[in-house]
Amino acid sequence: MKLLRISPSILDIPFREAFKHASAERAATQTLWVQCATATGVTGVGEGCPREYVSGESLESALAFVAKHQDAWMAEIDSVDALRMWVETNRVSLDVNPAAWSAVELAILDALAIEKNCSIEKLLGLPELCGNFLYTAVLGDASAASFQKQLERYLANGFTDFKIKLSGNLELDMQKIAVLRATGVPAGRVRADANNLWPDVASAVLHMKALNFAFMGLEEPIRTGSPQALRQVAVALGTKVILDESLLRLDQIGDFEEDRQHWIVNLRISKMGGILRSLDMLSAIREAGFGLIVGAHVGETSVLTRAALTIANQGRDILIAQEGAFGTHLLAHDVVEQPLMFGHGGILEFATGGKPGLGLDVRVPT
């Protein structure tokens, strides 16, 4: 493959309704969109979601990263092996620009697979996608009345797995718990996400004990993210802690290996820096004995939803839950003809149908 052009842009799609959690509130996508054109006329597409509160990236820094390296990519990357080499030799740079690289890498993989007339799974030597993918109902931080309406919609649509965003307001969070109890949702099917809400262990433990609800996991309760502090939370509450912002790089996983019973990892492709790095992290998670959630940033299009299926399919043996696949349930419009999104019961069934690359009919933004 010969890359002729790498074109980054900002993808701005409004939401049907605003989504709020403790770290941010947004009403539109915050997305880097990348297109790779090849000498044979193929166009590959990719997506990344830079988040200041996750990896320290912004749309501006992501665009600057692409501008800095695009000439080198066009000169050096012409195969999967060359792509792997670039990832390995530029690990430090990718550690601080994971979302930007996610968009670029995905576009290159898409183009490579299209040129070889195969799926990205076959290109990477992985099993083809098969079976159903089951998604979690994610409820944003909202008033108790709005929370109840969201939950009732999910229940009416057959969802059985739930994640709620905590507000830190004890009265409001207790009202949400009351709604969960009133609707008969089992605590063991509910995860709580604090989005780094509390300043210390004591504050987190005090709040969660007051809720008196046996969540199956608590995601990112404190701002420090230190392994020792997170251990203290897990032990004090007798629950698993879900690592998201606290586990951004492969070299951090060793900080948690000594007490594997406490941890579940939320692996998001954009956060990890692409499919190749996500596959490496998946192998490390499996070896460490942690549980796996394949997560998503709010506002992902069907392109990142599709990329996450590669990881979920490869990690089925340790997969606890999957998030995302909102498509036009959330977005005013998607970038594909038929958006990839969950249906009744949170189920998404997808097969490439013989289409190469990502297997999507992309309406390339202009």
Predicted confidence (pLDDT) per residue in 280-339, tens digit: 999 999 999 999 999 999 999 999 999 999 999 999 999 999 999 999 999 999 999 899
- Cβ-based neighbours of 151, under 8 Å, separated by 6 or more: 137, 139, 162, 179, 180, 183, 185
Query: Would you say residue 26 has pLDDT above 90?
Result: no
Q: Are residues 193 and 88 in the same domain?
A: no
Tokens encoding 128: 């083809």
Average pLDDT over every residue of 355-365: 86
* Contact of 292 with 269, CB cutoff 8 Å: no
CATH of the domain at 241: 3.20.20.120
Q: Which H or E element spans position 45?
A: strand 43-48
- Going by pLDDT thresholds of 50, 70 and 90, the confidence category of residue 29 is confident
Average pLDDT over every residue of 98-126: 97
- Going by pLDDT thresholds of 50, 70 and 90, the confidence category of residue 258 is confident
Query: Would you say residue 84 has pLDDT above 90?
Result: yes
> Could you tell me if residue 30 is inside a domain?
yes
CATH of the domain at 41: 3.30.390.10
Q: What is the pLDDT of residue 27?
A: 81
- Say how many domains are in the chain: 2
Q: Are residues 237 and 326 in the same domain?
A: yes
Q: Are residues 157 and 218 in the same domain?
A: yes
> Could you tell me if residue 76 is inside a domain?
yes
> Could you tell me if residue 354 is inside a domain?
no
Q: What is the mean pLDDT of the chain?
A: 94
Task: Tell me phi and psi for residue 144, to 5 degrees.
Answer: -60, -40
Query: Would you say residue 61 has pLDDT above 90?
Result: yes
> Could you tell me if residue 362 is inside a domain?
no
- Kindly report the three-state secondary structure assignment for every residue of 168-225: CCHHHHHHHHHHHHHCCCCHHHEEEECCCCECCHHHHHHHHHHHCCCCCEEECCECCC
> Could you tell me if residue 358 is inside a domain?
no
Average pLDDT over every residue of 151-167: 96
Q: Are residues 81 and 144 in the same domain?
A: no
Q: Are residues 276 and 319 in the same domain?
A: yes
Percent of the chain with pLDDT over 70: 97
Query: Would you say residue 195 has pLDDT above 80?
Result: yes
Tokens encoding 311: 């990881």
- Going by pLDDT thresholds of 50, 70 and 90, the confidence category of residue 364 is low
Q: Which structural domain, as residue segments, surrounds residue 259?
A: 132-349
Q: Are residues 296 and 165 in the same domain?
A: yes
**Reported pTM:** 0.94
- Going by pLDDT thresholds of 50, 70 and 90, the confidence category of residue 24 is low
Angle separating helix axes 302-314 and 98-115, nearest 10 degrees: 80
Q: Are residues 10 and 148 in the same domain?
A: no
| Alpha helices for 238-352 (secondary structure H) | 269-272, 275-288, 302-314
Q: Are residues 219 and 104 in the same domain?
A: no
Query: Would you say residue 175 has pLDDT above 60?
Result: yes
Q: Are residues 109 and 39 in the same domain?
A: yes
Q: Are residues 163 and 46 in the same domain?
A: no
> Could you tell me if residue 363 is inside a domain?
no
Q: What is the pLDDT of residue 22?
A: 54
> Could you tell me if residue 78 is inside a domain?
yes
CA proximity to 1, closest of 152, 93, 114, 91: 114
Q: Are residues 81 and 187 in the same domain?
A: no
Q: Are residues 254 and 310 in the same domain?
A: yes
> Could you tell me if residue 85 is inside a domain?
yes
Kindly report, residue by residue over 196-229, the tens digit of the pLDDT: 999 999 999 999 999 999 999 999 999 877 999 9
* Domain edge (last residue) among 94, 123, 152: 123
